[in-house]
Amino acid sequence: MSETAALAELAKRRGFFFASNEAYGGTAGFYTYGPEGAALKRNIEDAWRDLFVRELGNMELEAPTVMPEAVFEASGHLEGFDDMILECAECGATHRADHLVEDAVPDIEDAEALGTERVAELVAEHGIGCPSCGAALAEEPVEEFNLMFGTNIGPGSGAPGYLRPETAQGIFVEFPRLKEYARNTLPFGVAQIGRAYRNEISPRRALVRVREFTQAELEHFIDPERDRPPIEAVEDVEVPLYSASAQTGDGDGGVERHTVGAALEAGPLESEWVAYYLGRSVEFYERIGIDMDRFRYRQHLAGERAHYAADCWDAEAEIGGNWIEVTGFAYRSDYDLSKHGEHSGEPFTVFRQYDEPRTVERAVVDPDMSYLGPEFGEAAGEVADALEALAGRDRSAFEGDSVTVELDGETHAVPVETTGFAVEEQTEAGEHITPHVIEPSFGVGRLVYSVLIHAHGTDTVDDEERSFLELPAAMAPTTVAVVPLMTKDGLDERAEGIAARLRADGFEVAYDDTGNIGRRYRRQDEVGTPYCVTVDYETLEDDTVTIRERDSTEQKRVSADDLSAVIRRLVSGDALSEL
């Protein structure tokens, strides 16, 4: 059985994840995390939060999943997530109509912007045929397919809304308030863990491509001219880089390991900020249990990156022979905030003070409206505006006795003394800038899946095959299982007492007294429980128990009183053999 098939079987049987709504035939693209999976996912999210929110000093928010249409008009999703689909009546294949037109007509590069009707006309005019079977497509309608789930906000159909296709917009749209919260000072980072929705044409491969998924995103707002990441914190971190040139065959074609510092100096890393987060993320992947030998950072190819992304890398994990994207690291520049600023009319900017206030000379006017009014009638206001504009661009026009402005092809002469023209010195403390954004965007479901695939293994213990999940102790759904050797002579009562105490001390504890002891160990191995505590006859004599380690199957006897402290040490990384 392939590793993906083996994991799918395990995931279903042991409650990690499974297709949703199976009682009703199932719904493609939706998965339910079972008890083990929900716990693992939560632990991974907490690890992410611990690093990207707490340790890096960022803030976290929680925004709605439904947003009004205007947000996606601004973000570009309404247009950009909309595909033009054209179906061939002959063979039934569907094609991107805009791509067909772009391929067939040399001077058209963005057919999508032309609209469906025009694209349909172009298909007919150029006699474009079906790439699959060659049949003429002239009679086929070009249809829109939007990857966003639409809904209505409020009764009726008055206010269209969409389920967000990425969590990021929930942060961007709140920027004006968030910058207030951040006391108008850059840089600051805002994180969010939440659901996003895409009505994928073809959901595939378990948790890899689904229609509802969890993202953990950080939007780090910076002043592109002044802010630098604390790169020294990560410059010695080694990162496996799969550069664009390696992918296109210019390089040696493989993954190269560099330190962040070296890769910034000599390439292929370009942006310090992206490099910083690549370096930071290594620790995260290691902590959650990604096998770093099956992991790489892949640089986007030139044609692959979004038009606003200056430097873009994906973190990819190898699963069943395929590389899947688990994180996108993008330098989004000021694209998102600028768009929301333009569309909303609100200031998506931060005031940046100059080091020293600057004194600038500025030509101003203060027209005497009691003259302009009677003289120019209803055009007076426009004349005044024209004077102000003229003062800004050509103060020499005000040197004579009269100044001439042109309005709708008509020239108007205005006596200079009525314009209130003056050159003033003004002090400017700073300017409004639109912050740039660095966005590490993690797909939580894909991380859960990668961690499970990488952790899943089999070995042989006492001639029996064993299936186990080598999860980091801190990620495991259950930290410790308490098992009595026998369910008699009071061993089980004693074990229940120990389990209760461990629970009171804050551990995720399982208690199991069914079947023989080996079976119970294997059960815990299979869901990744790192430690089993066994209560045996010696426990009754001297109050000691054994701790069994999942990975080595080795055991060590410790005092029941020390149990919580010992397990705490083990979870934080101490080895059982060194206790």
Partner RNA sequence: GCGCCGUUGGUCCAGUGGUAGGACAUUGGCUUCCCAAGCCAAUAGCCCGGGUUCGAUUCCCGGACGGCGCACCA
Residues at the interface with RNA (CB under 7 A):
4, 8-9, 12-13, 19, 25-29, 76-77, 80-81, 83, 87, 91-96, 99, 147, 165-166, 200-206, 209, 306, 320, 461-462, 464-467, 485-488, 514-519, 521-523, 525-526, 534, 536-537, 546, 548, 553-555
List phi, psi (to 5°) of 255: -85, 135
Least separation, in Å, of the C-beta of 117 and RNA? 21
Of 221 and 421, nearer to RNA (C-beta) is: 221
Is the distance from CB of 41 to CB of 15 less than 8 angstroms?
no
Of 306 and 407, nearer to RNA (C-beta) is: 306
DSSP 160-211: EEEE-SSTHHHHHTTHHHHHHHTTT-S-EEEEEEEEEE---SS-BTTTTB-S
Least separation, in Å, of the C-beta of 357 and RNA? 40
Token pair of 19 as six digits: 């297709």
Least separation, in Å, of the C-beta of 159 and RNA? 24
Of 402 and 467, nearer to RNA (C-beta) is: 467
Of 329 and 398, nearer to RNA (C-beta) is: 329
Is the distance from CB of 531 to CB of 473 less than 8 angstroms?
yes
Of 311 and 403, nearer to RNA (C-beta) is: 311
Of 174 and 227, nearer to RNA (C-beta) is: 174
Of 366 and 554, nearer to RNA (C-beta) is: 554
The 8-class DSSP code of residue 214 comes to: E
Least separation, in Å, of the C-beta of 506 and RNA? 24
Is the distance from CB of 42 to CB of 477 less than 8 angstroms?
no
Least separation, in Å, of the C-beta of 393 and RNA? 38
Spatial distance between the Cα atoms of 520 and 511, rounded to a whole number of angstroms = 10
Using CA of residue 61, residue 67, residue 71, residue 76, what is the dihedral sign?
Answer: positive
Per residue in 378-399, is it b (16+ CB within 10 Å) or e — as a string?
A: eebeebbebbbebbeeebebbe
Least separation, in Å, of the C-beta of 548 and RNA? 5
Please state, as a whole number, how many other Cβ atoms lie within 10 Å of the Cβ of residue 64: 11
Residue 43 Ramachandran class (φ > 0 left, ψ -120 to 50 alpha, else beta): alpha
Spatial distance between the Cα atoms of 436 and 220, rounded to a whole number of angstroms = 8
Of 80 and 160, nearer to RNA (C-beta) is: 80
Contacts of 476 (CB under 8 A, 6+ apart): 40, 43, 469, 508, 527, 528, 529, 530
Least separation, in Å, of the C-beta of 366 and RNA? 48
Least separation, in Å, of the C-beta of 198 and RNA? 7
Angle between helices 272-288 and 35-48 (to 10 degrees): 140
